[in-house]
Amino acid sequence: MKKWFSYRWQSNYFRKSFLLILFITSIPGIISGIAIYTFGLSSTEKELRKVHVEEIDDRAQNIDTQFSYLEESLTYWAFDPSFNYQLITTDFVYEFQKTREIMQKLMILEGSQPLIGEVELFVETKEGPVLFTPYIEYIKDEKEQEGYHSLLKTSKNITWDHTEDFFQHTGYRNNLILTHQIPGVINNPFGAIVVTIDDKSLVRTLETLTPYSNGVTMLINEENELLLSTEGSSDKEFTKELINVFTNNNKMDRSFQMDWKDKTYSVSYGTFDRIGSKWTYISAAPISAITTPIITISKVILVASLIVLGLAFFLTWFASNRLYQPVKNLASSFTATSNLTSNGRKDEFKQIRDRLDSLTFESEQLEKRINHQIPQLRQNFLIQLTKGYLYDFDEDALRRRMENYRWKVHHHSFVLLDIQLTRGNEHLQRTYEDDSLIAFAMANIADDMTAKYLDQYTVLNQYDLTASLFLIIPDDMSNWSDQLNQLAEDIMTAINRILSSYVTITISSETTRIKDIPFLFEEIGRARRFRDFNNQNQILMLNEVEKEVKGQKLFYPFETEKEIIQSIRRGKINESEELIRQFFDELLHNSTKEVSVHAGIMQLYSTIQHEILLSGVDPVVLYKGRNMYEELSQLREMEWVVKWLIVQVIEPYITFLENNMNMEMKVIVEKVVSYLEEHYMEDISLESCAEYVDITPYALSKAFKKIHGVNFIDYLTTIRMDKAKELLLYTNMKINEISESVGYRHSYFNRIFKKHVGLPPSQYRKTRASSS
């Protein structure tokens, strides 16, 4: 006892407390005990229930957000182009690449959310029902097919609510299953994505709704049927009793108390509005562990005060020890044990202060790390804002969110500055790696230049030779429009010097509302389409460029377009390239604005694609499913467009025609040759023969030349001349009769015969007759 007392006496705090309490009688203790017992207990229980409700509201909001994100993610995946009607006719064994792509997407979706347990894809194909788990298997059992077909019969595209047939025949044991019909919002779905919630992960998440240990949280549906519970026991007696009490509760208040096995629980509940169903979460937290010490302490103080009325010294010694214990525990949690057990006088508060200094230093280090991540968080916020993911947030919520990212938005306005590289011809041999490096350098240049003018800005690198500067301008900044123009000039000069590229900079209008920021991005996209198509530096303002093009008539060189199509039909690639350049010259001569030139480019590509379709070639197969319109829209310079049209569009088409024409055209040409040999004496033309075999005259002429090495008319003339020679030598027919029998008029026959043989018909007959 002496050693124990000596140890405490070394504490400055214990000594002061002991001497002070020594002079206090037990009367205040009695009053305190009664007050704590009568008023403190009920007040504490009420406050605990209030805290319970407030804490689970915040945590329930987080869980609700996770479910909403899961539903939005599943909807996004259901609209994925991979899940289209082509799956119905796909042979998943033969087209293994397609199968592998679907399996990879399912695995990505499965790993995108911690709440997701398994993701499966059900598809009704022509070969029969198919199930990706993510590995492919064909469903043979009719009952199991019925279960999965029930997913396609429901009127809701996405739902948590499913029929008994589904659970009974498909073997799912988990009640929490989210399904989405594919593809997207279609009246006749052919499949569904099935997402099973991981019970263990959801249990861990629900456990956060219980602020104290040994509590229970559960989910029930609208029929008060249990969906999930965090109670560990298999029979879940407490859960059943809790559901019964909740069902009988009048539900006028969101919190009530419940007694169970000598324990008092604070019960709070709320709802999750999910697609197709409504869930109720119930959280029961034990508060006996907190209220029991209050009752015990109050009784101890009351009894001790009555008994030791004359023993103030011992009461003081006891009270001082009780007061010192929390300080000791606090000091123990902040300082090392070796410091507490050292000999000599000790000051616990100094030790705590030293430890707090250490924690402050660690907090500063953590703050630095957070500051390092702030730019990326800001970029992600702007991307989410422009993509519409934050559409449901009101202005105040968005403002608070921006302030969380260390932005100062009060008394500030927002402006966008768009930077677009338009490189010269020396950069034609570019690669996507080059574009990424140049885009990175451009973003760094913009960052360095902007830092000289503004404190708050964010650079969004689009990695397609464009970048956007999100600028936050204070209201007290004078002549901000002039300063932005000067900033644009500085960025333009730096890019010209460092990257040797032209640049178009577009400045948006100003807004003070955060919800209008997406419209600034739309405005930027609209304004930069009015840039001059020629390679030169430009600074664009939306109002100014719209005035420039207002009332301007669209010009389109239709005649040159016809010549381009004719050259493509003849397979003349070099001629096509020259005509396309002429096409662009005529477009640019009328208007150099990108919006006008781009319209002409798209129209020309559409005409070429129309010609490809007329020839019986499928552009989707020819270009291997590439989005050619999107590729064309990314090209900003005339030379890039010309090369792209020749190399990516025209050359593959002509090569395809040449590779697939040989055998078919040989049969057609031989059919025409047989026709010529039988009808050479008639009035025959290239057009009539082309009509006879049902192809174009140009295609027949080209094929004839390629297969026989001579033109159509030369081949026909050779047949007629050979027959005329035979008649001249072996018959006594007159020359005019011979000419008619081989399909010529007499006067023309003499000329054509002499041209091909070298002698007139009469002289040819005499010469050959005399020689024989």
Sheet arrangement for strand 538-541:
457-461, 466-474, 412-422, 502-507, 538-541
Confidence of residue 540 (pLDDT cuts 50, 70, 90): confident
Instruction: Please name the amino acid found at residue 742.
Output: V
pLDDT in tens, 325-343: 676 677 666 665 445 444 5
| Residue 400 CA from chain centroid, whole number | 25
CA dihedral 493, 498, 499, 503 (to 10 degrees): -10
Is 600 in contact with 556 (CB distance < 8 Å)?
yes
pLDDT in tens, 8-57: 556 666 666 666 665 565 556 556 656 665 655 566 667 666 776 777 77
**Helices 697-708 & 651-679 angle (0-180, nearest 10):** 80
Determine what percent of the chain is predicted with pLDDT higher than 90.
3
Distance CA 184, CA 478 (A): 51
Is 439 in contact with 464 (CB distance < 8 Å)?
yes
Is 523 in contact with 542 (CB distance < 8 Å)?
yes
Average pLDDT, the chain: 79
Distance CA 716, CA 710 (A): 10
From the CB of residue 770, how many other CB atoms can be counted at a distance below 10 Å? 7
The pLDDT of residue 8 is 59
Residue 634: pLDDT above 50? Answer: yes
Can the peptide bond before residue 134 be classed as cis, meaning omega within 30 degrees of 0?
yes
Confidence of residue 344 (pLDDT cuts 50, 70, 90): low
Across 558-686, the runs of DSSP E, i.e. the strands, are none
pLDDT in tens, 725-760: 888 888 888 888 888 898 888 878 888 888 888 888
Distance CA 259, CA 266 (A): 9
Residue 425: pLDDT above 60? Answer: no
From the CB of residue 584, how many other CB atoms can be counted at a distance below 10 Å? 21
Residue 526: pLDDT above 80? Answer: no
| 3-class state of residue 411 by DSSP | coil
Nearest to 276 by CA among 186, 148, 181: 181
Distance CA 492, CA 449 (A): 10
Distance CA 742, CA 749 (A): 9
277-286 and 216-220 as β-strands: parallel, antiparallel, unpaired? antiparallel
Q: 197: burial class by Cβ within 10 Å (0-12, 13-18, 19+)?
A: buried
The pLDDT of residue 599 is 77
* Mean pLDDT calculated for residue range 224-247: 78
* Mean pLDDT calculated for residue range 702-714: 82
The pLDDT of residue 667 is 80
Would you state the structure tokens that stand for residue 715, as one six-digit string? 């081949």
The pLDDT of residue 746 is 80
Is 183 in contact with 245 (CB distance < 8 Å)?
no
Would you state the structure tokens that stand for residue 645, as one six-digit string? 């049209």
Cβ-count burial 586-614 (b if 16+ within 10 Å, e if not): bbbebbebbbbbbbbbeebbebbbebbee
Would you state the structure tokens that stand for residue 2, as one six-digit string? 């002496």
Instruction: Give every CB contact of residue 479 below 8 A, 6+ residues apart in sequence.
Output: none
Residue 242: pLDDT above 50? Answer: yes
Q: 248: burial class by Cβ within 10 Å (0-12, 13-18, 19+)?
A: exposed
The pLDDT of residue 286 is 81
The pLDDT of residue 524 is 80
* Mean pLDDT calculated for residue range 694-706: 83
The pLDDT of residue 472 is 92
| DSSP for 632-661, written as a single string | HHT--SHHHHHHHIIIIIIHHHHHHHHHHH
Distance CA 69, CA 65 (A): 6
The pLDDT of residue 341 is 46
From the CB of residue 769, how many other CB atoms can be counted at a distance below 10 Å? 10
Distance CA 15, CA 321 (A): 10
In 233-311, which residue ranges form alpha helices assigned H by DSSP? Answer: 237-248, 288-307
Instruction: Please name the amino acid found at residue 218.
Output: M
Is 483 in contact with 477 (CB distance < 8 Å)?
yes
The pLDDT of residue 212 is 65
Residue 186's φ and ψ, nearest 5 degrees, are -130, 140
The pLDDT of residue 471 is 92
Across 165-179, 443-457, 507-521, least confident range: 165-179
Is 308 in contact with 24 (CB distance < 8 Å)?
no
* Mean pLDDT calculated for residue range 408-418: 90
Nearest to 162 by CA among 138, 194, 121: 194
Distance CA 341, CA 322 (A): 19
- Give CA separation, 533 vs 126, 490, 597, in Å: 50, 22, 7
pLDDT in tens, 371-412: 788 888 888 888 888 888 888 888 899 999 898 888 998 989
123 or 347: which carries more pLDDT confidence?
123
Would you state the structure tokens that stand for residue 72, as one six-digit string? 């939005």
Distance CA 291, CA 49 (A): 12
Instruction: Give every CB contact of residue 286 below 8 A, 6+ residues apart in sequence.
Output: 212, 213, 214, 215, 263, 264, 265, 266
Is 612 in contact with 653 (CB distance < 8 Å)?
yes
Residue 442: pLDDT above 50? Answer: yes
Nearest to 331 by CA among 3, 6, 12: 12
Sign of the dihedral through C-alpha 704, 707, 710, 715: negative
